[in-house]
Amino acid sequence: PSSPSPSSSPSSATMGEQAKPLLPFLQRADEMAKADPKVAYYCRLYAVQEGIKIPDRTPELGQLLGLVMQQLEGMKGAAALGDDDELYCENFALKIFAKADKLDRSGKSDAKTAKMFYVSSIFIEVLNQFNDINEDMQSKQRYAAWRAGELSAAAREGRTPPAPPDTSGKEGEEWGEGGGGGGG
């Protein structure tokens, strides 16, 4: 319980700026910690990998990354890591995406649907730690992020969101249908 308050040091603004791109992954990890430790593990791992790439890290960010690495070490048992983790995480991300897309296409879009799209875009991005994601997944990620913004704006402004674009012509598949790519 001795976590430093965000405004406690003069360089905290810089630490905050540096940590900001990592927060969505750490937040998803916290949300998934009990429900799906494996997904939580890979969200944290991706945050650390991205954090290590940040040039001129503040000491506070270094400290944060150190704490997250300790969390990762402690999670390994519960996460039950294995050879098929990439496929597991991909299927998880696609499931969230498909659920959001199904709700959206059934005309039941709201702020929750927006959050589901946003969260699916984060989970898809996490897949980059295994291999660069393929074109189809990149497309789903961009769509999910865009649709999340569109639905959030509509909810904020109290208006009915526009219908989702027709993707039925997209290689004969609807978004979220058909699972992840087969090759590997």
pLDDT tens for each residue of 82-134? 999 999 999 999 999 999 999 999 998 889 999 999 999 999 999 999 999 99
pTM of the full structure = 0.81
Q: How far apart are CA 141 and CA 176, in angstroms?
A: 11
Q: Is the pLDDT of residue 146 over 80?
A: yes
Looking at residue 170, what is its pLDDT? 56
Q: Is the pLDDT of residue 29 over 70?
A: yes
169 band by pLDDT with thresholds 50, 70 and 90: low
Over residues 13-39, mean pLDDT = 90
Over residues 25-43, mean pLDDT = 96
- Tokens representing residue 80 in the block: 């039950």
* Burial class of residue 34, CB neighbours in 10 A (0-12, 13-18, 19+): exposed
Dihedral of CA atoms 50, 44, 19, 49 in degrees, nearest 10, equals -20
Q: Is the pLDDT of residue 43 over 50?
A: yes
For CA atoms 23, 121, 80, 130, give the dihedral sign.
negative
Q: Is the pLDDT of residue 4 over 50?
A: no
Looking at residue 16, what is its pLDDT? 80
Phi, psi of 8 (to 5 degrees): -85, -20
Looking at residue 176, what is its pLDDT? 43
Q: Is the pLDDT of residue 171 over 80?
A: no
